[in-house]
Structure formats: structure tokens, C-alpha cells
Amino acid sequence: MFDYLIVGAGFAGSVLAERLATQSHKKVLIIDKRNHIGGNTYDYYDEHGILVHKYGPHIFHTNSFEVFSYLSKFTQWRQYEHCVLASVDGQLVPIPINQNTINCLYGLNLNSEEVAEFYNNRAEKRTIIKTSEDVVINAVGKELYEKFFKGYSKKQWGIDPSELDASVTARVPTRTNKDNRYFTDTYQSMPLHGYTKLFESMLSHPGIKIMLNTDYKDVIDIIPHKKLIYTGPVDDYFNNCYGKLPYRSIDFKFETFDTECFQPTGTVNYPNNHAYTRITEFKYLTGQTHHKTSIVYEYPTAEGDPYYPIPCPENNNMYRKYKLLADTLPNVYFTGRLGTYKYYNMDQVVAQSLALFKKLSTGETKEVNGHKGELIKIENKISDDRNRIYKS
Ligand code: FAD
Ligand code: UDP
């Protein structure tokens, strides 16, 4: 009998497996339908011997000392500060928009105060900032919004930024200084030997068994376990009973060139031309030296693996219904980007799973219909719980 069956070997599931096995001495089985651990952060050496990220570029950054020191148990780090250029009006200029961007784009030589004035003169102040369009137009006005955000966001999300929550474009700030870094977090580093190695170290414990190439639905009824932690898409768990939650997927197209360097920085964004949103050259991220170089193009699509929850009021409402349903299951816990339908970065997912571990380890149970989980007599077998919900 396993104490925990965990669905998904990405950060959400693996952090919990590691904590439960090493700190609470639980017997854990972690299942993934893919043929590898690491979830979307999985990296591998391609046929040319270059370390690439199978599911798109993953740059680690966090302000959380707790998250950074926790992950430092499993990897050494390589300091790396990601810089991104955007292809706009025939030039490559820094994004987030900053003093350098404005001076480059308009052939000016403004100082910080003058750039602030430049933004203020163009900003269309909005009293309520609800959408991703509001965020940018309120800060810098329509022209810069159209040059940098409108086209990129439409490609990325398949809907206009005026329909997306403010939180999406708020991820990319506007600066008056010359800071060209994409992130300003306290800790910005890449796992020295890659993410997959980090996960191997995290999951290497006698209390953790790993089952790959397996959809949990095919085995859940035959593997005895006390509790389930689920990090796959929450709507999928409930057989889409309230409808399918929309996700954005990406087609990743990899290419390798017989040259040391392809582009001037780790990522170049293409807001206004091409069907892809961005190109990333992996050697910048990993620090690898190699006489060839591998890049990835990202083509957003509606079909395919669910990579991005789409934050907008309609989807948030549908998720809320699933959340209410999820809360009725006393021995099933939902976490992670897909399990809680949240546009989370890696560090947020790690923090979320560490928080869930604390609750589990202090015996704090879920509130189920206003009662503590252990007080109500619902059968322990997760599959029965699920069946009951599907039938009702
Ligand atoms: P996942 O990594 O998706 O893991 C869930 C796992 O569950 C998957 O392996 C899946 O196969 C498995 N699963 C699902 N259903 C089943 C089932 N029925 N049976 C068995 N297994 C199942 N974050 C950053 O911090 N920095 C970045 O630069 C960054 N870049 C990103 C770029 C892209 C293109 C994408 C898509 C995401 C990026 N992220 C980045 C976000 C990051 O990938 C996530 O925050 C993190 O990987 C989520 O971890 P997770 O464990 O919740 O989900
Ligand atoms: N964005 C944009 N132009 C850019 C960069 C970002 O319009 O050059 C918007 C876009 O909507 C994107 C969001 O800001 O989806 C968040 O960007 P981020 O780089 O954080 O996206 P991720 O790395 O998660 O795909």
C-alpha cells in the first residue's frame, strides 16, 4: 500500500514526493504519462550534443529564499540573467521596454526622468485596470502597446489582450532605467547540469517509486494507496464535467546550425511578424560551449499538450466550479500549474507544493463541505469518489 500516489513528475509532484518520502517517511508512487521525469522543464542532449529544453526555454528566477535554498539541495547553479530583445520596426531592441529601448527605437538620448515624461505624455490613464490591454496602455500608451504587446499577445493567447486578465502583461514591466534584464529577481540561476539532473537527484530515494509511460487512469484502481496528489489538468480529472478548460499549447520547432552563435541574446521576441512568438538559443541559458548551436521557435496553438492556462474571467469562473468540486474530495489534493489552473512560474509551483506539504505534514486536512476531511465518512478509495461525482 502506498501512502501517496502522485500524478505528474513535474515540479509540483516531485517536490511533494521528495518531501513526503524524506521528511515524513511516506511510501510514494509518482506516475507520469510521459517517458521522462521533470514535467515541462525536462531537458536533454540533442543529437548534436547540445543541451535543449524539450518544452521550451525554462529560466529559473525567484525572490524566495526558501524556494532557492530548497532546490539548492539537489543542484549546483550557474548564475544567469536572461536578456530578451524584441524585433520592432526593423531593429532589435530590449524588452521590457526601458530607457535603452526608447532611445534606440526613436533615435533619442533621453535620461531616466525624460523617459518617464515620454511615457506619461503617451500613457492613457485608466481608472480601473482589468485587462492586459489596460496595463500597457495605462503605462505607455497605444503606440508602444501596438509595437510590443498587441501582436505578440494575440499570437500567444489566440485572443485580444483586452480579453485577458491584467496579470498576463503585468508580468513584463515598463522601466525608466537602463536595466535590460528580463527578470529582476534576487535569485537568477540555471541548474548547473540541467533540470533533468536536478529531478533525478530530487527523486532518488528508496521511499519513492517512479512509473513512467502511464496514464494514472489506467492504473489507479489497481494500485492501493491512501491519498492522491494530482498535478495534471483539473478538468481532465473530473472528465470535463463542467466543460473543457481552455489551455494554450505550443509547437516547438528545433533547429541546429553549424555555427557557434545564431542570435545576439538568449531570446528574441517577434511581436509583429512571423507565426512564432520567439526564438531561443539554448547555449546562452546553459552556458555550454559547442561549435554548433541549437535554437527553438515557439508557435502557439489551441491544440496539443496543455501548457498555459488562459487567465480571463470566463475561464476563471469555470475553474472555480472545478475547485469547489475538488474541495469535496477529502483525500485528493490538487496542486501545480494545471492542477490549480494558474499561470505559475516554476518557483511559484515549488512554493505551492512546499506549502501543501506543510499542511499534509501537520495533519491539517481539507475542509470538506464545511467539515474537516477526517470527520466525514466518505470512502477512502479515490476512484469511488470520482465515480460518484461523474454519476451524480
Ligand atoms: P508540469 O511540469 O506540466 O507537470 C505535470 C505532469 O503531469 C506532466 O509531466 C504530465 O505529463 C503529467 N500528467 C498530466 N496528466 C497526467 C495523467 N493523466 N497521467 C499521468 N501523468 C499526467 N517557468 C519559469 O519559472 N521560468 C520560465 O522560463 C518558464 N518558461 C516556460 C516556457 C514554456 C513554453 C512553458 C509551457 C512553461 C514555462 N514555465 C516557466 C512554467 C513552468 O513550466 C511551470 O511553472 C512548471 O513546469 C509547472 O510544473 P507542474 O509540475 O505544475 O506541471
Ligand atoms: N508579452 C508581449 N510581448 C513581449 C513579451 C511578452 O506581448 O515581447 C506579453 C504576452 O502576452 C506574454 C506575456 O506578456 O504572453 C507574458 O510574457 P512572458 O515572457 O512572461 O511569457 P512566458 O515566458 O510565460 O511565455
Helix (H, G, I), strand (E, B) or coil at 223: coil
Q: Probe ligand 2: pick from 172, 268, 298, max atoms within 8 Å of CB?
A: 172
> Does the beta carbon of 172 lie inside 6 Å of ligand 2?
yes
> Considering only CA atoms, which residue is closest to atom 39 of ligand 1?
345
All domains in the chain, ordered by first residue: 2-79+190-240+310-391 (3.40.50.720), 84-169 (no CATH)
Residue 253 in grid coordinates: 520547432
**pLDDT of 362 strictly over 60:** yes
List residues bridging with 371 in a β-sheet: 368
Ligand 1, atom nearest to 344 Cα = 45
Residue 278 in grid coordinates: 520567439
> Does the beta carbon of 269 lie inside 6 Å of ligand 2?
yes
> Does the beta carbon of 346 lie inside 6 Å of ligand 2?
no
> Considering only CA atoms, which residue is closest to atom 2 of ligand 2?
149
Other Cβ atoms within 10 Å of 70 Cβ, number: 19
Ligand 1, atom nearest to 40 Cα = 2
- Residue 331, pLDDT score: 95
* Cα–Cα distance, 328 to 139 (Å, whole number): 42
> Does the beta carbon of 169 lie inside 6 Å of ligand 1?
no
Could you tell me the distance, in angstroms and rounded to a whole number, from the CA of residue 75 to the centre of ligand 2? 28
> Does the beta carbon of 344 lie inside 6 Å of ligand 1?
yes
- Residue 129, pLDDT score: 96
- Residue 363, pLDDT score: 81
- Residue 388, pLDDT score: 37
DSSP string, 78-142: EE---BEEEEETTEEEEES--HHHHHHHHT----HHHHHHHHHHH----SS--BHHHHHHHHH-H
> Does the beta carbon of 11 lie inside 6 Å of ligand 1?
yes
> Does the beta carbon of 266 lie inside 6 Å of ligand 2?
no
- What is the per-residue pLDDT across 124-144, written as a single tens digit (0 to 9) for each? 999 999 999 999 999 999 999
- Residue 369, pLDDT score: 52
Three-state secondary structure along 240-280?
CCCCCCCEEEEEEEEEEECCCCCCCCCEEECCCCCCCCEEE
* Cα–Cα distance, 335 to 359 (Å, whole number): 13
Starting from the CA of residue 234, give the closest ligand: 1
Residue 333 in grid coordinates: 489534493
Q: Please give the model's pTM, rounded to 2 decimal places.
A: 0.94
> Does the beta carbon of 352 lie inside 6 Å of ligand 1?
no
**pLDDT of 380 strictly over 70:** no
- What is the per-residue pLDDT across 72-117, written as a single tens digit (0 to 9) for each? 999 999 999 999 999 999 999 999 999 999 999 999 999 999 999 9
Could you tell me the distance, in angstroms and rounded to a whole number, from the CA of residue 22 to the centre of ligand 1? 23
**pLDDT of 190 strictly over 80:** yes
Cα-based distances in Å from 158 to 250, 303, 309, 318, 383: 11, 11, 12, 19, 35
* Cα–Cα distance, 171 to 132 (Å, whole number): 10
Could you tell me the distance, in angstroms and rounded to a whole number, from the CA of residue 54 to the centre of ligand 1? 11
Burial 311-327 (b: 16+ CB within 10 A, else e): bbeebbebbeebeebbe
* Cα–Cα distance, 380 to 319 (Å, whole number): 25
Ligand 1, atom nearest to 337 Cα = 52
Residue 288 in grid coordinates: 555550454
Starting from the CA of residue 271, give the closest ligand: 2
> Does the beta carbon of 231 lie inside 6 Å of ligand 1?
yes
List residues bridging with 255 in a β-sheet: 295
> Considering only CA atoms, which residue is closest to atom 1 of ligand 2?
149
Helix (H, G, I), strand (E, B) or coil at 67: helix
Ligand 1, atom nearest to 61 Cα = 25
Starting from the CA of residue 235, give the closest ligand: 1
- Residue 202, pLDDT score: 98
- What is the per-residue pLDDT across 212-245, written as a single tens digit (0 to 9) for each? 999 999 999 999 999 999 999 999 999 999 999 9
- Residue 384, pLDDT score: 40
| Higher-confidence position of 366 and 19 | 19
Q: What is the dihedral of CA 237, 240, 241, 242, to 10 degrees?
A: 120
- Residue 392, pLDDT score: 30
Could you tell me the distance, in angstroms and rounded to a whole number, from the CA of residue 18 to the centre of ligand 1? 17
> Does the beta carbon of 148 lie inside 6 Å of ligand 2?
yes
Average pLDDT over residues 283-292: 98
Could you tell me the distance, in angstroms and rounded to a whole number, from the CA of residue 169 to the centre of ligand 2? 6
Starting from the CA of residue 6, give the closest ligand: 1
Residue whose cell numbers read 522601466: 175
Ligand 2, atom nearest to 269 Cα = 8
Starting from the CA of residue 236, give the closest ligand: 1
> What is the average pLDDT value for the chain, to the nearest integer?
93
